[in-house]
Amino acid sequence: MDPIEALERVAYLQDRGLLPSQKTAAFLRAAEVLRALPPGELDHRLATGTLTDLPGIGASTGEVITQAAAGRVPQRIADLEASTQIPLGDGAAIRAALKGDCHTHSTWSDGGASVEAMARTAMALGHEYLVVTDHSPRLTVAHGLNRERLEAQLDEIDELNERLAPFRLLTGIEVDILADGELDQDPDLLERLDVVVASVHSKLRMDERAMTERMVLAIASPHVDILGHCTGRKVQGFGADQRVIRPEASFDAELVFAACARFETAVEINCRPERQDPPPDLLDLALEWGCKISIDTDAYAPGQLEFQAYGCDKAAAHGIAPEQIVNTWSADDLLAWTRSHPST
CATH number at residue 121: 3.20.20.140
Among 59, 83, 107, the domain-final residue is 83
Q: Is residue 150 part of a domain?
A: yes
Q: Is residue 306 part of a domain?
A: yes
CA dist 272 and 234 (Å) reads 9
53 and 72 within one domain: yes
Q: What is the pLDDT of residue 35?
A: 97
- Angle (CA) 329-330-332 rounded to 5° is 120
CB contact at 8 A, 201 and 230:
no
CB contact at 8 A, 120 and 127:
no
8 and 118 within one domain: no
Q: Is residue 343 part of a domain?
A: no
241 and 129 within one domain: yes
158 and 200 within one domain: yes
62 and 141 within one domain: no
Cis amide prior to 278 (ω within 30 degrees)? yes
Q: What is the pLDDT of residue 239?
A: 53
60 and 183 within one domain: no
CA dist 65 and 82 (Å) reads 20
CA dist 104 and 293 (Å) reads 16
CA dist 326 and 144 (Å) reads 26
CB contact at 8 A, 128 and 169:
no
CB contact at 8 A, 106 and 43:
no
Where is 309: in which H helix or E strand?
helix 308-317
Q: Is residue 39 part of a domain?
A: yes
Question: What are the CA-CA distances from residue 284 to residues 46, 50, 128, 311, 320 (Å)?
Answer: 58, 59, 29, 14, 10
CA dist 242 and 244 (Å) reads 6
Q: Is residue 236 part of a domain?
A: yes
CA dist 216 and 210 (Å) reads 10
Cis amide prior to 166 (ω within 30 degrees)? yes
Among 83, 116, 131, the domain-final residue is 83
pLDDT tens by residue, the chain, 344 residues: 999 999 999 999 999 999 988 889 999 999 999 999 999 999 999 999 999 999 999 999 999 999 999 999 999 999 999 999 999 999 999 999 999 999 999 999 999 999 999 999 999 999 999 999 999 999 988 899 999 999 999 999 999 999 999 999 999 999 999 999 999 999 999 999 999 999 999 999 999 999 999 999 999 999 999 999 999 999 876 554 555 678 889 999 999 999 999 999 999 999 999 999 999 999 999 999 999 999 999 999 999 999 999 999 999 999 999 999 999 999 999 999 999 977 65
CA dist 79 and 9 (Å) reads 12
Q: Is residue 242 part of a domain?
A: yes
Q: Which strands sit side by side in the sheet containing 293-296, from one edge to the other?
A: 100-101, 129-132, 168-176, 195-199, 226-227, 266-270, 293-296
207 and 65 within one domain: no
150 and 7 within one domain: no
184 and 37 within one domain: no
Supply the range of the domain harboring residue 63.
3-83
CA dist 178 and 147 (Å) reads 17
CB contact at 8 A, 283 and 266:
no
Where is 173: in which H helix or E strand?
strand 168-176
CA dist 104 and 15 (Å) reads 14
134 and 265 within one domain: yes
Domains of the chain: total? 2
Q: What is the pLDDT of residue 190?
A: 97
266 and 184 within one domain: yes
Residue 189, Cβ density class (10 Å: 0-12 exposed, 13-18 middle, ≥19 buried): middle
Q: Is residue 325 part of a domain?
A: yes
CB contact at 8 A, 28 and 7:
yes
Q: Is residue 163 part of a domain?
A: yes
CA dist 54 and 189 (Å) reads 46
CATH number at residue 36: 1.10.150.110
Torsion angles phi and psi, residue 175, rounded to 5: -85, 135
Q: What is the pLDDT of residue 288?
A: 98
Among 45, 62, 83, the domain-final residue is 83
239 and 284 within one domain: yes
